[in-house]
Amino acid sequence: DIQMTQSPSSLSASVGDRVTITCRASQSIISSLNWFQQKPGKAPNLLIYAASSLQSGVPSRFSGSGAGTDFTLTISSLQPEDFATYYCQQSYSTPPTFGQGTRLDIK
């Protein structure tokens, strides 16, 4: 199985900050990397797919980059509604696997 490792596991930031979350795969997944946002009690919401493509309806302050084994999710200017948990997921091979999550809290 491909292991996905996110860092940091938690992060405190302020409204307006620029935030970067990283995700590393245990082997190359080309660009088959997706990012999800999850708020408490809610289902995950797809933000970025194929490493850098913005899902329809997602604000442009979210962006993704990377290829191979190293990927990043960047939020250019944090908004109050962005405080949530973020997960990366590889869709390259079976079984698809998720990172452990990054909890983004208000500082």
Partner 1 sequence: EVQLVESGGGLVQPGGSLRLSCAASGFTFSSYAMSWVRQAPGKGLEWVSAIGSSGDSTNYAASVKGRFTISRDNSKNTLYLQVNSLRVEDTAVYYCAKAAYGWYLLDYWGQGTLVTVSS
Q: Could you list the residues that contact partner 1 (CB under 8 A)?
A: 32, 34, 36, 38, 42-46, 49-50, 55, 87, 89, 91, 94-101
Nearer to partner 1, 53 or 77 (CB): 53
Round to whole Å and give the CA distance between 105 and 72.
18
Matching residue, tokens 């289902």: 43
Contact assessment for residue 19 and residue 74, using Cβ atoms and an 8 Å cutoff: yes
Cα 97 from Cα 31, distance rounded (Å): 14
3-state secondary structure of 82: helix
Least Å distance, CB 2 to partner 1, is 11
- Which residue, 77 or 91, is less far from partner 1 as judged by CB? 91
Nearest approach in angstroms of CB 74 to partner 1 is 20
DSSP state of 39: -
Question: Which two three-digit tokens encode residue 106?
Answer: 């208000």
For the CB of residue 89, give the shortest distance to partner 1 in the complex, in Å: 7
By beta-carbon proximity to partner 1, the closer residue of 60 and 94 is 94
Q: What is the smallest separation between the CB atom of 70 and partner 1, expressed in angstroms?
A: 20
